[in-house]
Amino acid sequence: MDTPRADRRGYTLIELLLVMVALGLLATVVYVTWEAILPRTKLNTAVRELAATLQETRSDAVSRGVAFTVEYAFEDNEEHPRGYRVVTPFRAGGAGGLAADDEDRLALAWKRLPENIEFQSITIDGQLHTKGLVVVRFDPRGSASDHNIVLVQKPYENTYTVEVQALTGFIHMQAGEFVRQIPKDSDFD
């Protein structure tokens, strides 16, 4: 005895295959979109962590009334990783007090840049640096070495600029490469 088609329950093999193909296409689109979003998130996190360290260093210099420095390292080597660290004005070794010489200053741990994120360039007081170790200063009155840090994410070539203004020590973040234009006299007319 054959039962009428309306009484059959379930799905046909073709219907199941069509649903699986549709889910596969949807998963591919979601994966590609996620791959496009995730790298920029990693770069944004690295930029925010660097900016937070710079802001904290400026605050420490102002609140303690002494100059702090930040060191940036473009490359990994035996002495340091590719990243940055804060050097305090205090004596290393827990002896207390201010260090008499730069060699005696307490240097905090290096903060390594995430994988595939590098310093593309650091411009300090108009001078461009692309390798080696560079040092900037945060003064007790809130000012700082005028500098721009350009971070790049390989292989996507996403860039972000962290700007530290000289007179105020304020920190700004800009997507892409940013260079503040020097004001002209005509700007104030």
Beta-strand relationship, 105-107 and 68-73: unpaired
DSSP 8-state secondary structure symbol assigned to residue 46:
H
Residue 1 belongs to some domain of the structure: no
Q: Is the pLDDT of residue 63 over 90?
A: yes
Name the β-bridge partners of 135.
71
The string of pLDDT tens digits covering residues 6-18 is: 666 788 888 888 9
What is the CATH number for 155? 3.55.40.10
Quote the distance between the C-alpha of residue 58 and its chain's center. Answer: 17
> Is 165 part of any domain?
yes
> Residue 175: which of 50, 43, 84 has the closest Cα?
43
Does a structural domain hold residue 122? yes
Q: State how far the Cα of 25 lies from the Cα of 29, in Å rounded to an integer.
A: 6
Q: Examine residue 3 and state whether it is found in any structural domain, yes or no.
A: no
* Torsion, Cα of 164, 166, 168, 172 (10° steps): -20
Is 170 contained in some domain? yes
Question: In total, how many domains does the chain have?
Answer: 1
Provide the residue range defining the domain that includes 140.
Answer: 12-188
Tens of pLDDT, residue by residue over 124-153, are: 998 999 999 999 999 999 999 999 999 999
